[in-house]
Chains A and B, each alone.
Chain A
Amino acid sequence: MLTREEGEEEKEEEEEEEAKGRRRAFSINDNVDLLAEILGRLDGRSLAVAGCVCRLWNAVGRRDSVWEAVCHRHVAGGGSSGAGGGCSTRSVVAALGGYRRLYRLCIGPALDRLAGSAGGRGSTTTTAEAAAAHHLSLSLSLSLFSIDCYERLGGRQQRPASLLFLCKPVDVS
């Protein structure tokens, strides 16, 4: 008994020292769920950039749950208006190819296009309207995404082109 108590005390001391050490040098890489939570608050481009940092970040950045958070955040406008049936949405989107693909093919280009055009007009919409617009744009994005998925099903077409109109101009000067 004495030895065990001593062992426990020693362990506690060691843990305290380790904890102190950890508090002094906290590494996000040790806490992957926290990392995922943080990355999920980024916008698409930053998240893609974050995926270039290291293998761990790349792996976390590829999680569909992270991209799901990104999609909902940037499309639902901060409020989860599409929460009625979030589980079924997830399964449908997963079946169609996943949130990361949805963002890359539909939502990202659409947001870029809308941002480009809205910058010229100036945003005068209220938050409710913006939320409604974003909610609709999620359903619109999903519609476009499903058409793209359908086009790829055939296999005979090399480049399904129903989303070509969303291509964003890239300045290569």
Chain B
Amino acid sequence: MKREHQETGAGGGSGYHVATAADMAGAKGKMTAAPSMGMEDDDCGVDELLAALGYKVRSSDMADVAQKLEQLEVAMASTAAAASDDASVLPQIASDTVHYDPSDLATWLDSMLSELNAPPPPLPPPPPVAAAVHHHHRFDVSTASAITTVAPLRPSDAYDFKPVPPPAAASGGRVVYGLDPQSEMIVSPRDQKRKRTCSPSSSSSRGAEAGRARGSRTEGASSAKPAAALPVVVVDTQETGIRLVHALMACAEAVQQENLKAADALVKHISVLAASQDGPMRKVAGYFAEAIARRIYRRRPLFQVDRALDSPALEDLLHLHFYESCPYLKFAHFTANQAILEAFSGCRRVHVIDFGMRQGLQWPALLQALALRPGGPPSLRLTGIGPPQSDQSDALQQVGWKLALLAKTIGVDFHYRGFVASSLADLESRMLVERDGNEGDRDDEGEEEAVAVNSVLELHRLLSRTGALEKVLRMVLAVRPRIVTVVEEEANHNGGTFLDRFTEALHYYSSMFDSLEGGGGQAADAGEEEEQQKHRAMAEAYLGRQICNVVACEGAERTERHETLGQWRGRMARAGFEPAHLGSNAFKQASMLLALYAGGDGFRVEETDGCLTLGWHTRPLIATSAWRVSAASAH
């Protein structure tokens, strides 16, 4: 039950109703998770366990209870489906704090089932331990619903633990994740309080349940306090959003301190909170929750089975959808092509080495630009490098064939060669370019071919093995290229502690998901709208895999070791390259490209010291830079 709960939490855009129903079942299931967890871990003493937690349920009734739970789930799903506005149903449900006495499960379920005819049914939040707190307040559903619609403008001073009010109050419900240290400090005592209640528990599931119940009790207590001042307690989306972020941070901290029980409890809590969110924040939280769960459970054999389903074909497909649904890769390709084009001006024979061929979507534009350049097209040789394929199909050769067909159509002399390599460090320079005395290199005029090396989101993978990046950069130097174009994610996911990495990744991927949501244009009809949503969902899955790798993996498995532009500058300079400024043409073309995106207001193209970065609002997300061999190392 735990595992599929995580999965549905991370399910993302598809099947909203299924996700909400399952999450609601999961939330209700938290109540019965105690007994069911008790049943899984302790086969005996169920009655005592339940009784100790305050549930007066006979074990013989459990089957009946389970059946009623299923009915409830179905009924709630149908209610949710019937609701006119999905976005308001769930926050209403999650936030209406109508408390029933849950000590009598069976009759409570009966009352819930009977009440489902009146929309919307109230859902109790993670229930307090019945022995400790008795909430019998009954809030009027109608007033609750009236207030929740005003939620985004809710004053934040009703809560005693509220951190610095977010600047996103103006943007209406969208959470801003600017966790400045001030808010962190305000919140951390509370988080530590929660963690401290969790950590002393030594018994397996019962302690976690008690800890979680106590944690929710503190929340319940604080939410009950303003209940005296206000007629209704309302939790608006911003509030749960901030709580969600803090829950994620607390969970990461727990993982870092190897406090796996607390982390486990927090992960479930996160999934519930995430269900009350909407849009990109829910998806981001879902993916991060899943990744942390994987990290916690990675010693279980189930984890390895999932990894075996990875295939380069799937990776390529997701990459393709990511290409189509947002401008980052197009930006990368266009700016890199511009740099390569300018470096090749005047050359009759050119050679491009692509470190990550995939579908070859960068090269049609370069072919066309070369075909139309003043002076006529050169003869182009393209060397593509790709990972080994699990099935028999030779994807590299197929891509090469397509590019050759296009080149023939537009009249460019084109040669292609594909290399299969599981890691770039396996390559040698003499494989790529024959130098110094080999006949194949020079033509009749003895003119050498100009070489360009292009790496789009490939170099960071080499950082998982020590020395691999240096070896590859030495190889690039040996090839003596005119220009090296490097595109990398602009984030630091490779430094410091796990918590630092987690925080950085949370900010980065939140911005990414925001831009996916906001940057998609409107479609002309329902069919295209569906297509766009499908692309977006798969793009989100692509990012979800990266998140999983950043958070859940360690050592050689963790290949998504992103570094910032400054760090890459340092590495390239140490390897013997000097920066080549990307011209104003590249900047203008990138700006024009971004202007064509419907959400173009959010995207920002910036130029820093000759490198171009594309970001969402104030956060740069991807950076293109160009390099040439420095005079010192050319000797």
Contact = CB atoms under 8 A, between A and B. Distances in A.
A92 B327 contact: no
A159 B531 contact: yes
17 contacts: A84-B374, A85-B374, A92-B368, A92-B371, A92-B411, A96-B368, A113-B596, A114-B595, A117-B595, A133-B588, A137-B592, A140-B334, A143-B364, A146-B365, A147-B365, A162-B323, A162-B324
A153 interface: yes
A96 B407 CA distance: 10
B127 to A, nearest CB: 46
Most buried by B among A114, A146, A154: A146
B597 A136 contact: no
Interface in B218-255: none
A150 B364 CA distance: 7
Contact of A85 (B323, B372, B589): B372
Contacts of A122: none
Contact of A139 (B374, B376, B532, B589): B589
Given A136-B585, A150-B361, A164 B528 contact: yes
B409 interface: yes
A150 B361 CA distance: 8
B210 interface: no
Q: Main SS of the interface on chain A?
A: helix
B521 interface: yes
Report whether over half of chain B's contact residues are helix, strand or loop; otherwise say mixed.
Answer: helix
Interface string B522-555: 1111001001100100000000000000000000
A113 B405 CA distance: 32
Given A113-B596, A162-B361, A96 B535 contact: no
Interface of B: 323-325, 327, 330, 334, 337, 360-361, 364-365, 367-369, 371-372, 374, 376, 398, 402-403, 405-406, 409-411, 520-525, 528, 531-532, 535, 585, 588-589, 592-593, 595-598, 600
A153 B405 contact: yes
A169 B595 contact: no
Contacts of A132: 588
A137 B595 CA distance: 11
A153 B403 CA distance: 9
Contact of A96 (B398, B410, B589, B593): B410
Interface of A: 84-85, 88-89, 91-92, 95-96, 110, 113-114, 117, 132-133, 136-137, 139-140, 142-147, 149-151, 153-154, 159, 161-162, 164-170, 172
Given A136-B588, A146-B406, A164 B535 contact: yes
A142 B372 contact: yes
A165 B402 contact: no
Contacts of B597: 165
A95 B225 CA distance: 73
B524 A170 contact: yes
Nearest to B522: A169
A96 B364 CA distance: 11
Contacts of B592: 133, 136-137, 140
B403 A92 contact: no
Q: Which 6 A-B pairs have the closest CB atoms?
A: A143-B365, A169-B522, A150-B364, A146-B368, A146-B364, A95-B409
A165 B588 contact: no
A153 B402 contact: yes
Contacts of B334: 140, 143
Contacts of A143: 334, 337, 364-365, 368-369
Contacts of A95: 409-411
A154 B410 CA distance: 16
B593 A140 contact: yes
A150 B407 CA distance: 10
Contact of A92 (B402, B410, B531, B535): B410
